């Protein structure tokens, strides 16, 4: 089992990671009857894309002896209705270090082939921007 998710009431859930016992809560967003006091479930999907991209880039960077410390990703999620779903995820990756063109291409390709990217429905538009120092 990967995690255990419990409905806490008032449109809030708690997810507990089985192996580490780390946890997080989600709330329904304000535009869908919620309080918006925490990540919504769809926020976690959009953020998961950025986390996955940075993780696989980090794995590749380590193998290339490149320090990616302090790299950030800014995520913007767009929803649509009928049916209500994520229609677009924009990820801006800010890489605060110098890298040659070959290294940049390798890391960008690695990010764009992460498992979450491949797992998202093809109808979800994914816009990824890499800002190199």
pLDDT of residue 78: 97
- Residue 47 makes CB contacts below 8 A (sequence gap 6+) with 39, 75
Q: For 72-108, how does the pLDDT look when each residue is reduced to its tens digit (9 = 90+)?
A: 999 999 999 999 999 999 999 999 999 999 999 999 9
- Domain range for 52 is 41-132
Assess whether 65 and 125 both reside in one domain: yes
Specify the pTM: 0.95
Assess whether 32 and 45 both reside in one domain: no
Assess whether 53 and 89 both reside in one domain: yes
Is there a contact between 18 and 6 (Cβ–Cβ < 8 Å)?
A: no
Assess whether 34 and 45 both reside in one domain: no
Q: Structural domain tally of the chain?
A: 2
Distance CA 42, CA 88 (A): 11
Q: For 26-80, how does the pLDDT look when each residue is reduced to its tens digit (9 = 90+)?
A: 999 999 999 999 999 999 999 999 999 999 999 999 999 999 999 999 999 999 9
Assess whether 65 and 100 both reside in one domain: yes
Assess whether 128 and 67 both reside in one domain: yes
Assess whether 83 and 26 both reside in one domain: no
Assess whether 98 and 58 both reside in one domain: yes
């Amino acid at each position: 089992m990967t995690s255990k998710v419990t409905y806490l009431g008032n449109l809030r859930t708690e997810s507990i990671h089985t192996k580490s016992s780390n946890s997080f809560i989600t709330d329904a967003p304000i535009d869908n009857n919620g309080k918006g006091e925490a990540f919504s479930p769809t926020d976690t999907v959009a953020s998961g894309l950025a986390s996955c991209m940075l993780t696989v880039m980090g794995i590749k960077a380590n193998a290339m002896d490149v320090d990616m410390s302090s790299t950030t990703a800014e995520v913007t999620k767009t929803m649509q209705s009928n049916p209500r779903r994520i229609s677009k995820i924009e990820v801006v990756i800010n890489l605060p270090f110098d890298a040659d063109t070959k290294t940049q291409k390798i890391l960008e390709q690695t990010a764009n082939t992460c498992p979450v990217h491949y797992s998202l429905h093809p109808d979800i538009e994914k816009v990824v921007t890499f800002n190199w120092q």
